[in-house]
Amino acid sequence: MSHESSPPSSSQGPAHAEVHTEAIGRLGEVAPRRGAEVLLEILESEGVEYIFGNPGTTELPLIDALLTRPEISYIWGLQEASVVAMGDGYAQATRRPAFVNLHTAGGLGHGLGGIINANVSNTPLVVTAGQQDSRHTVTDPLLFGDLVSIAKPVAKWSQEVTTASQLPVLVRRAFHDSSAAPTGPVFLSLPMDIMQEMTTVGIARPSTIDRRSAAGSLDILADYLAAVPPGRVAVIAGDEIDTSDAAPETVRLAEVLGAPVFGSSWPAHIPFPTSHPLWRGNLPTKAIEINRTLSDFDCVFALGGKSVITILYTEGSPIPDGCEVYQLSTDVRDLGRTYSTRLSVLGDIKTSLKILIPMLEAKLAGEAEARRALVDAAGRARAVRRGEIEAEARRQMDRPIATPLVAAHEVVRAVGPRTRIVDEAIATSVHVRSLLDSTLTRQYSFLRGGGLGWGMPASVGFCLGFGREPIVCLVGDGAAMYSPQALWTAAREKLPVTFVVMNNREYNILKNFMKAQTDYLSAKSNRFIAMDLVDPAIDFLALARSMGVPARRAESVADIGALVEAGIKSGLPNLIEVPISVE
């Protein structure tokens, strides 16, 4: 079952329309039941399919109440960092909030890195944690902590439920606010006694909220863009296009303008068909290189916020002098935040582009042939670039151990244009993105938040969110050790996830960062502390098998594609280790 053309919907309406619920009116009284049962009633009304969790003593009332709600499945993760990332992947796949349940202060602490990732990625999560029984918190019991304060810096808001009667309002509010722009995680603390408390509170009907508002000043924006000479405007396709389900409109915009399309420098998704003639790949991550990439353009039109992310510092601005910036986003915080813009407009991307594109078509009607010629020329240039990449990959094929380019080439070839990829293999990610060739605009997802340990558990969530479609998870050997517990959950749920470990036996990205500088003694001496995973070596095959996942190693370059193809066809979780050389 594919969600490519019709995103999943729930009782709130189509996910891409951002229709959500919140309790309204008076809550009528009903038969007494425990707080945990009330919570599950609300979750069911919100269309929740899964609770992603790891249970402890404070979660026992909720676990017990689940026996009465078989329509809600508990996805069991063995560590809270994995649990949060599973919810993150599910929420990104379905475009609606995931419900995550952690265990007290320690479990929330384990999950904080994942919540930070979700915050950076604007992933809508309702994160909860069981809290100690509030009747004896004054005695500082074991496992007690100030959960609200712990979560506050990384969530949109953080609150503790103090009576069972508050649940209908606060849980509805959590779902509502996690979905409101800018989307992100919210946190609720659930004391054990509140989950056991008897209450007669009712569940109010959901309210319908349509947030598909168009931006203002679109006529002015159309005038500005239409005045730019052909070939001198570039489009930056940010992650918000995926959230808004606006890929078709973005394609049409680019074709009308005859404008090349660049992806974000550090993306969560590639929300544009990678087979399209106007696709130019993702921007680099250094300011000086982004500046060089954009230097041929008079203006850039950025769709979605946070599209120009830099990692290592380089002198100067990523935006070339004299290059105008235009923005369209639902995130008011990002409009004009870092780089001066001639015009930034606030609104839903899909809705706004549906209004903007006809304006541009009318204004550019006399230039339609010239703009089509730009698309044709872009297609020819794209074919040349891809030919060069393919030729270089062929030149490297005869090496005994796959180079990062060859490993990426063989995996992408085996995956094909329809199977989805979740990527946390930094050593090969740039090559993977350069090789993608698909009309599927939701094929590729990446570690947007930057905190390692996301990829393997996120793949579990993506697989569930996409209706248990096959997923290929690319993960580096270092990143794989942050949350390998996800293998066990994949095996337990019998999910068709193929985990591909790109194993270079080192923290290659860190070494490369140091080698790129001129003053690191480590680079000059070729001695790096705490960066070589060789003594002892990690046995990924044994690790996978210990968690119920069959595993194979690619003993040669020729093995890579066949193993990946077989893994996908198996319809079950499996792991493939791909040794790669150090460049």
> CA-to-CA distance for 507 and 510, rounded, in angstroms?
6
> CA-to-CA distance for 416 and 437, rounded, in angstroms?
8
Q: What is the pLDDT of residues 415-436, one digit of tens each?
A: 999 999 999 999 999 999 999 9
Evaluate whether 9-209 and 218-380 have a shared fold. Answer: yes
Q: Which CATH class is domain 396-579?
A: alpha beta
What is each CA distance from 386 to 281, 292, 350, 416, in whole angstroms? 11, 21, 30, 16
* Secondary structure (DSSP) of 332-368: GGGTTSSS--SEEEES-HHHHHHHHHHHHHHHTGGGH
Torsion-angle region of residue 123: left (phi > 0), alpha (psi -120 to 50) or beta? beta
Residue 208, pLDDT score:
86
Beta strands at 471-476 and 420-424: parallel, antiparallel or unpaired: parallel
Q: Domain spanning 9-209: which superfamily? A: Thiamin diphosphate (ThDP)-binding fold, Pyr/PP domains (3.40.50.970)
Four-residue CA torsion sign, 192, 193, 197, 201: negative
The pair of three-digit structure tokens given for residue 4, joined into one six-digit string: 């490519």
Q: Is the pLDDT of residue 414 over 50?
A: yes
Beta-bridge mates of residue 103: 130
The pair of three-digit structure tokens given for residue 399, joined into one six-digit string: 């090496």
Question: Closest Cα partner for 61 from 193, 159, 251?
Answer: 193
Q: Hey, how many other C-beta atoms are within 10 angstroms of the C-beta on 213?
A: 14
Beta-bridge mates of residue 425: none
Give the number of residues written for the chain.
Answer: 583
> CA-to-CA distance for 92 and 98, rounded, in angstroms?
9
Output the furthest CA–CA distance in the chain (Å, rounded).
78
Torsion-angle region of residue 310: left (phi > 0), alpha (psi -120 to 50) or beta? beta
Four-residue CA torsion sign, 250, 464, 111, 44: positive
Q: Is the pLDDT of residue 89 over 90?
A: yes
Cβ atoms of residues 406 and 383 within 8 Å: no
Q: Is the pLDDT of residue 153 over 90?
A: yes
Is 3.40.50.1220 the CATH number for 218-380? yes
Residue 29, pLDDT score:
72
Domain ranges in the chain are 9-209, 218-380, 396-579
Three-state secondary-structure class, residue 82: helix
Residue 28, pLDDT score:
63
Q: What is the pLDDT of residues 472-495, one digit of tens each?
A: 999 999 999 999 999 999 999 999
> CA-to-CA distance for 352 and 53, rounded, in angstroms?
38
Q: Is the pLDDT of residue 583 over 70?
A: no
Q: What is the pLDDT of residues 360-401, one digit of tens each?
A: 999 999 999 999 999 999 999 999 999 999 999 999 999 999
Q: What is the pLDDT of residues 298-321, one digit of tens each?
A: 999 999 988 999 998 899 999 999
Question: Closest Cα partner for 529 from 545, 511, 552?
Answer: 511
The pair of three-digit structure tokens given for residue 21, joined into one six-digit string: 């619920």
pLDDT band at 121 (very low <50, low <70, confident <90, very high): very high
pLDDT band at 515 (very low <50, low <70, confident <90, very high): confident
Report the 3 state secondary structure along 168-219.
Answer: HHHHHHHHHHHHCCCCCEEEEEEEHHHHHCEECCCCCCECCEECCCCCCCHH
* Secondary structure (DSSP) of 4-28: SSS--EETTEEGGGTEE--B-S---
Contacts of 70 (CB under 8 A, 6+ apart): none
Report how far Cα 383 is from the mean position of its chain's Cα atoms: 29
Cβ atoms of residues 235 and 373 within 8 Å: no
Q: What is the pLDDT of residues 338-355, one digit of tens each?
A: 999 999 999 999 999 999
Predicted structure pTM score: 0.93
The pair of three-digit structure tokens given for residue 391, joined into one six-digit string: 């030729």
Report the 3 state secondary structure along 390-439.
Answer: HHHHHHCCCCCCECHHHHHHHHHHHHCCCCEEEEECHHHHHHHHHHCCCC
Geometric angle at alpha carbon 425, from 422 and 429, rounded to 5°: 85
In the block, tokens 């404008």 appear at 259
Question: Closest Cα partner for 474 from 504, 439, 449?
Answer: 504
